[in-house]
Amino acid sequence: MADMKQEEISHPPMDQLQGLEYCIDSNPSWGEAIALGFQHYILCLGTAVMIPTLLVPLMGGNAHDKAKVVQTMLFVTGINTLLQTLFGTRLPTIIGGSYAFVIPVISIIKDPSLAQIADDHTRFMMTMRAIQGALIISSCIQIILGYSQLWGICSRFFSPLGMVPVVALVGLGLFERGFPVIGRCVEIGLPMLVLFIALSQYLKHVQVRHFPILERFSVLISIALVWVYAHILTASGTYKHTSILTQMNCRTDRANLITNTAWIDVPYPLQWGPPTFSADHAFGMMAAVMVSLIESTGAFKAAARLASATPPPPYVLSRGIGWQGIGLLFDGLFGTGTGSTVSVENIGLLGSTRIGSRRVIQISAGFMIFFSILGRFGALFASIPFTMFAAIYCVMFGYVDFNPLKPVSHGIFSGAVGLSFMQFTNMNSMRNLFIIGVSLFLGISIPEYFFRYTMSSSHGPAHTRAGWFNDYINTIFSSPPTVGLIIAVVLDNTLEVRNAVRDRGMPWWARFRTFRGDSRNEEFYTLPFNLNRFFPPS
């Protein structure tokens, strides 16, 4: 084979991904945008249903309480998403429920003063009020770090090299929500996984009237087909004599959402009563807020690449974190039972559809608000078995294709986008290989240790008399992106720093460190309604 010339095999770094049909500020037709927005809404239902399903029974709540919490979470998710896309980073990101808050919430649930309440409904109400109080107080961290620009200052220590493990682990760290969940109901999860890959990858070039319908709507089509198949299995009595766990994961009539949801119901602040405040609860929740902040930072950078935007400057990143703090405040006021963060699965869908339009996400937020008010209609879609969502997560979180010159026509997720930052660094440097290798490995290994310890001992490795300290340590080190950030940033800023400026990718990063450092920043991140006159970028 003839030798290839150097220019034929080189792939110069590109700060924007190529091959997207619509970027952040370009929009498909209204009909297509509405259908795509509905697809994003369907995808975010998995987390919106799973977290209340896990937490509400532990709080003493019944099926009606769970339905109300799901409804509230979707309503607040819609509001927070609109605020973030309009006034925050303005990236096409959905701000939904976060698993990072599960550890401090369970700690509140186990508080002796609440656990000893005999009446289940009273215990649920009092626990929800305690969670609300902790969220309201802890939200101040993100609000202060965001609007004071302190997080923007901190982000100046993040090089492209340091961001590789952080952004990658935002997706890679969610592996337990993939095939382990499919394994709970293989006869539904596996067909869903195979069908979704077939539609989105092998049949993506199939067009109807010159429109790539299978590539754009593979999530909707595969969910609809497998949902019908799952309902047939349920109606035929396939799971009549199986275990309760199997029925919960396989049957389409075990969500108990439709019959327990009102036809029309508008969630409102303090609907569970006045919040109660405790210093121990608030300190424990602050750890989850910090984890949410770090996860969102990585997710924002992933969303920027999948929307074909420039990396968000520190000012924009701080603005987004500030609005996310406002979102946490809303979580506390309305009572969602957990905090919020950027939805990683919806970021993956941007790459899968090749559409990073901001308008699509805003329409999706409209669906969330609409179907949360019309409760019965929203509950119908929310009754989709979670196993089906897990099959989609396997692709959204795990398909690796980070060639910066290749059209993004594959399912692509934030982990792969994180790895794509390596193109701006010198990967022939032993220093860089050491930092990325250690931070990626420990970013997965340390949280896995905390998880297994908790499963075997019913409590985390940190188990002292100070409950707030236990929550802080167990929450921080159970988050892969947080562990990855700590290790990568410390090593990157202390190991041979003077001689490694170019190897770290800092020259490429320089023009994105200020709002006006790149002319495209104003196009992507300027506030609407001419608000930049009153809030000029600093």
Residue 536 falls inside a structural domain: no
pLDDT bracket for residue 521 (50, 70, 90):
confident
pLDDT bracket for residue 321 (50, 70, 90):
very high
Residue 3 falls inside a structural domain: no
Mean pLDDT of 518-528: 86
The fraction of the chain above a pLDDT of 90, given in percent, is 36
Q: Indicate whether 407 pLDDT > 50.
A: no
Give tens-digit pLDDT for 73-93.
999 999 999 999 999 999 999
151: closest CA among 275, 52, 296, 269?
Answer: 296
pLDDT bracket for residue 2 (50, 70, 90):
low
Least confident of 49-63, 156-170, 193-207: 156-170
Q: What pLDDT does 72 receive?
A: 94
Q: What is the largest CA-CA distance in the chain?
A: 80
Q: Indicate whether 291 pLDDT > 60.
A: yes
Residue 431 falls inside a structural domain: yes
What is the rounded distance in angstroms from the CA atom of residue 246 to the CA atom of residue 387?
11
DSSP 191-217: HHHHHHHIIIIITTT--SSS--HHHHS
Distances (CA, A) of 241 to 62, 184, 245, 487, 489: 24, 16, 12, 49, 53
Q: Indicate whether 538 pLDDT > 90.
A: no
Identity of residue 245? L
Q: Indicate whether 450 pLDDT > 60.
A: yes
480-492 vs 160-172: helix axis angle to the nearest 10?
A: 170
Mean pLDDT of 341-366: 90
Q: Tell me, what DSSP letter sits at residue 505?
A: T
Residue 531 falls inside a structural domain: no
Mean pLDDT of 118-136: 96
Range of the domain at 508: 30-514
Q: Indicate whether 510 pLDDT > 90.
A: no
Mean pLDDT of 450-475: 86
How many angstroms separate the first and last alpha carbons of the chain?
55
Give tens-digit pLDDT for 397-406.
644 333 333 3
Give the residue, 46 or 175, on which the prediction is more confident: 46
Give the residue, 508 or 364, on which the prediction is more confident: 364
Residue 24 falls inside a structural domain: no
Task: Tell me what the pLDDT averaged over the chain comes to.
Answer: 84
Q: What pLDDT does 7 receive?
A: 54
H or E stretch at 97:
strand 95-97
Q: What pLDDT does 416 receive?
A: 66
Can you read off the two tokens belonging to residue 100?
């990072």
Mean pLDDT of 460-468: 85
Give the residue, 332 or 299, on which the prediction is more confident: 332
Residue 528 falls inside a structural domain: no
pLDDT bracket for residue 11 (50, 70, 90):
low
Mean pLDDT of 207-216: 84
Give the residue, 131 or 231, on which the prediction is more confident: 131
Q: Do residues 300 and 342 touch, judged by C-beta distance below 8 A?
A: yes
Domain count, the chain: 1
- According to the per-residue pLDDT averaged within each range, which of 118-122, 423-427, 452-456 is highest? 118-122
What is the rounded distance in angstroms from the CA atom of residue 307 to the CA atom of residue 25?
9
Residue 520 falls inside a structural domain: no
CA angle (373, 377, 380) in 5-degree steps? 130
Give the residue, 499 or 479, on which the prediction is more confident: 479
Distances (CA, A) of 414 to 218, 397, 399: 19, 7, 10
CA atoms in the 13 A half-sphere facing the CB of 468: 11
Q: Do residues 116 and 264 touch, judged by C-beta distance below 8 A?
A: no
Distances (CA, A) of 39 to 36, 51, 202, 293: 5, 20, 20, 26
Q: Do residues 398 and 413 touch, judged by C-beta distance below 8 A?
A: yes
Give the residue, 109 or 206, on which the prediction is more confident: 109
Mean pLDDT of 374-389: 75
Least confident of 16-30, 318-332, 374-388, 423-437: 374-388
Residue 6 falls inside a structural domain: no
Q: Indicate whether 128 pLDDT > 90.
A: yes
314-334 vs 120-147: helix axis angle to the nearest 10?
A: 160
Q: What pLDDT does 1 receive?
A: 46
Least confident of 67-71, 207-211, 334-338: 207-211
pTM score, whole prediction: 0.88
Only one residue has tokens 């309201």, namely: 136
Q: Indicate whether 415 pLDDT > 60.
A: no
Give tens-digit pLDDT for 228-245.
888 888 888 888 888 887
Q: Indicate whether 266 pLDDT > 60.
A: yes
DSSP 112-173: HHHHT--SHHHHHHHHHHHHHHHHHHHHHHHHHHHHTSHHHHHGGG--HHHHHHHHHHHHHT
Phi, psi of 411 (to 5 degrees): -65, 125
